[in-house]
Structure 1
Amino acid sequence: METLPLLAQISAVVILLLTSGFFSMLGTAVMGLNNYRLHDLADKGVLSSKTMQRLLLHTDQLLSVVLIVNYLLNVTIPVIATSIVLNALGNHSLVLLITIGSVTLLIFVFAEITPKIIGTAYSEKIALLASLIIKPLVTGSRPLIWLINTLTNSILYILRINTKSGSDLHLSNDEWRRLVLESSSCISSKRRRILLNLFGLDSISVDDVMIPRRQIEALDFDMPFDYLVRQLETCHHNKLLLYQGDIDRVLGMLHVRKTLAALHNQAFEREKLRELLADPYFVPSGTPVFQQLQFFQKNQHRMALVVNEYGEVQGLVTPEDIIEELIGELTTRLPSTANSVSNGWNAQGECIVSGSIPLRELNRRLNLRLPLDGPKTLNGLILERLEAIPEGDVGLMISNTRMQVMQINNQAIRTVKLFRTTQLDTAQPTVAEQSNT
């Protein structure tokens, strides 16, 4: 080395420094690769991605080559640089100290820190471009790699360290949710919302998505026959619940089209309705939504009655109710079951809603954050906060949402006016306060 010209020696140090930086950048880029993206590129026929996939099948060999080369270069650079300075300036301790400090700084900046930052920022491009260069190096270094890995594995075996115990890791639901939330640049907001709803199915029961008992459209077998027929003819549903006297005394599910067809027979009588009934399908209150969706699919049912521990009907649930929880409203609700939020906020930032509207639906439609861990409806939430049935108009704030009770009927809140919260309001504490007007 001393026989070479000074410029050639300095050029050799620069080349070694850049080469060391390249391998540092490559090692960081390989560790930061997105495996799903790599598989997608390989399926599309990208040659470099297929090469990198084969290299990653033996990650220990790939990283061993990168680390060995990088280490050898980082050791060689100070030796050559020190030799150049000592030949040029003489053997002085101060010169030696300054040389070692300068070379160490150069290695940190140009061979370690800067390349690794670049490798992190452009991991895919760097790894794929370098794959064709690193492959022959890995192939030619296999004997040396085998020897080093054998020694390393022997040491790990002696220390009783199992490197494979943590390799099979599974993401929890919360971790998947975090992954989806952080993928805003890759997934549209609508698809991201559907995925988040899907991960939340485990914490939702049929009570959260069912049609409440008071809103179930059903037929009373004891009503006058003419009125019963008229209700069938004006029904908007394909199936109706038929009960006798009280909705808890369920007779069965009536297929509306088949019943209307049978009505053309003049000999049709009230008791003939029993022959057209299908057996009702009951599910216990608290059944997880995802489990219920599987039951619907397995048993080919399209409607189920939710009952409590005493056998009392609490509501009605269909597959459509569960699907709407995932993707939003499929169809416009009928006027009889509408909850007055289809138009959203008006120009004044107000919205009038029914007190019987489910809180999950209200949050979804108006982008609110009302609590879901207690009552299921807005009426229940307000009564829980007030701890009494209000008399007259009452204003309160719940979870940064201002609201005013407008109409009360039969000990239940019928209509409520909601006010869109401003930035100033959101800074206020979320406490309920009555203001009789």
Structure 2
Amino acid sequence: MAEFFASMPPSFWISVAAILVLLALSGFFSGSETALTAASRARIHNWVKAGNNRAKIVEKLIADKERLIGALLLGNNLVNILASSLATSVLIALFGDTGVIYATIAMTAMVVIFSEVLPKTWAISKPDEFALGTAPFVRPIVALFAPITFAIQKLVNALLRLIGARREGDESGMTGHEELRGTVDLLHKEGEVVKNDRDMLGGILDLSALEVSDVMVHRTKMLALDAELPKEQLVQEILESPYTRIPLWKDDQENIVGVVHAKDLLRALFKAGGNVEQLDIEAIVSKPWFVPDTTPVQAQLNAFLRENAHFALVVDEYGEVEGLITLEDILEEIVGEIADEHDEVMEGAKKQPDGSYIVDGSLPIRDLNRALDWQLPDENATTIAGLVLDEAKMIPNVNQTFTFHGKRFRVLKKERNRITELKIIP
């Protein structure tokens, strides 16, 4: 065997060395493609902010993934085809026509093991570090192949449009919010993010998609007092209320004339020496702040912070009061239910021994989803009663049952055409 190889001409060894170099280049292209496409954009961006020059190169490369992948695939295919051609010519010279078979078997094994599986496994295990290592070498290759990859991209896009797989203006990839939400959900599923943190991050992402009508306290559950009540009765009801800000109305409940703060009332009562009759209620009533029901929750949060306020009344397009919204209502969309000594643990829903829940019809779907980790849709309805009406396409009767979204809903109570209580069986 030693004599056989010793008798080989120098051109044989040059070809063998060239094949090995080409296989190494193929492994480099395969590993770089895997690492650069799997690299964490967030981590790379943090390294860029820290002044890492190689991270800057990676960020620029992955900004145009079609161009990057096109260049790497082009280079990979060139070296693979060239290596296969050299191997075929060498083995034909040694074994004749059967060398084609030997070359096919040998090159397939070597390409799969050393140019595909090995480098890609290495790259996927540490994609960010691998990407940083290969980026300086990939950049000139991408620039070199730019004209060819540009032409290939145009041809491919034209063919995709021809078969209807792509249209002008099609968005590629997910939005930033979708990517963040998907990442958080995946990390929660893998146990790296607890439920409360997942819900909090999800609540922050949801703010831009919500309107105040989605999170407000509906007028049917809103406490408002008649400003014309006797002073003693008015003071008693305000102090016995679990709320610190109470709307006052005159003549008609829709005619909100002001908002009284319990602390202001207590201060005024102290100054009056505890004599209710000496109180000047109108002096401590603040002007009501009305906001449209279509106001984005994010905008209302900014307005609360800007105005140093905590309370606003929500009106519809006709100026009719729909409910109220507080800073706490918005914060609860982020951090979950904020309970104090006057609140129930989960207001509006009580778990039964059989695992079912008795639920108030006005309970927001989002609150129930967050508390019980359910996935009931809230695109077309805000409350549980609204969800049943939307799905049933009718006004159900008491004891009527519906099954949808993996749960059974039974109507327990109604007031006129409004569902006030349901039983939900998972």
* TM-score grouping bracket, smaller chain normalisation: 0.7 to 0.9
8 Å CA contact 1:358, 1:376 repeated in 2: yes
The one of 301, 306, 316 aligned to 2:309: 301
Structure 1 counterpart of 2:86: 79
How is 1:337-416 mapped onto 2 (pairs within 5 angstroms)? Answer: 339-341=347-349, 344-381=350-387, 385=392, 387-388=394-395, 390=397, 393-399=398-404, 400-408=406-414, 412-416=418-422
Asked which structure has the greater CA Rg, the reply is: 1
Structure 1 counterpart of 2:267: 261
Distance 2:203 2:282 in 1: 40
**Larger deviation: 283-292 or 186-195?**
186-195
Secondary structure at 1:348 match in 2: coil
1:22 Cα shift?
3.5
The reply to whether residue 95 of structure 1 matches residue 102 of structure 2 is no
Structure 1 counterpart of 2:337: 329
Residue type of the alignment partner of 2:31: L
The reply to whether residue 22 of structure 1 matches residue 27 of structure 2 is yes
Distance 1:42 1:175 in 2: 20
Cα 1:243–1:149 change in 2 (3 A) is: same
Structure 2 counterpart of 1:251: 257
Structure 2 counterpart of 1:237: 243
Structure 2 counterpart of 1:425: none
State the superposition RMSD in angstroms.
4.6
Cα 1:354–1:19 change in 2 (3 A) is: closer
8 Å CA contact 1:219, 1:243 repeated in 2: yes
Structure 2 counterpart of 1:284: 292
Structure 1 counterpart of 2:108: 105
Cα 1:353–1:333 change in 2 (3 A) is: farther
8 Å CA contact 1:238, 1:256 repeated in 2: yes
1:131-178 CA deviation, whole Å, 9 max, x = no partner? 5xx86x789xx7x998x469769989xx9x9xxx99999836445544
Secondary structure at 2:255 match in 1: strand
Structure 2 counterpart of 1:31: 36
Distance 2:76 2:381 in 1: 64
1:105 Cα shift?
2.5
1:192 Cα shift?
2.9
8 Å CA contact 1:194, 1:327 repeated in 2: yes
Cα 1:196–1:166 change in 2 (3 A) is: same
1:385-433 CA deviation, whole Å, 9 max, x = no partner? 484574xx513124243244444557654443332x2xxxxxxxxxxxx
The one of 324, 328, 332 aligned to 1:320: 328
Residue type of the alignment partner of 2:43: R
How is 1:103-252 mapped onto 2 (pairs within 5 angstroms)? Answer: 103-106=106-109, 108-115=111-118, 117-119=120-122, 121-124=124-127, 127=130, 130-131=133-134, 148=144, 171=175, 173-174=177-178, 176-184=180-188, 185=190, 187-252=193-258
Distance 1:84 1:336 in 2: 82
8 Å CA contact 1:206, 1:292 repeated in 2: yes
1:371 Cα shift?
4.7
Secondary structure at 1:247 match in 2: coil
Distance 1:125 1:201 in 2: 32
Cα 1:418–1:57 change in 2 (3 A) is: closer
Residue type of the alignment partner of 1:122: S
Secondary structure at 1:286 match in 2: coil
Cα 1:225–1:58 change in 2 (3 A) is: closer
1:18 Cα shift?
5.2
TM-score, normalising length from structure 1? Answer: 0.71
Distance 2:30 2:393 in 1: 62
The reply to whether residue 53 of structure 1 matches residue 59 of structure 2 is no
Residue type of the alignment partner of 1:56: V
1:198-239 CA deviation, whole Å, 9 max, x = no partner? 333343221221111122223211222221121233233222
Secondary structure at 2:363 match in 1: coil
Distance 2:232 2:90 in 1: 110
Distance 2:347 2:59 in 1: 57
Secondary structure at 1:402 match in 2: strand
Distance 1:395 1:263 in 2: 52
TM-score, normalising length from structure 2? Answer: 0.72
1:99 Cα shift?
4.5
Secondary structure at 2:352 match in 1: coil
% identical aligned pairs: 23
Q: For structure 1, which runs of at least 5 residues remain unmatched after alignment?
A: 422-437
Structure 2 counterpart of 1:272: 280
8 Å CA contact 2:224, 2:248 repeated in 1: yes
Distance 2:186 2:267 in 1: 55
Secondary structure at 1:228 match in 2: helix
Secondary structure at 1:98 match in 2: helix
Secondary structure at 2:253 match in 1: strand
Distance 1:51 1:201 in 2: 36
1:254 Cα shift?
0.9
* Count of residue correspondences: 395
Cα 1:15–1:258 change in 2 (3 A) is: same
Cα 1:336–1:313 change in 2 (3 A) is: farther
Cα 1:274–1:338 change in 2 (3 A) is: farther
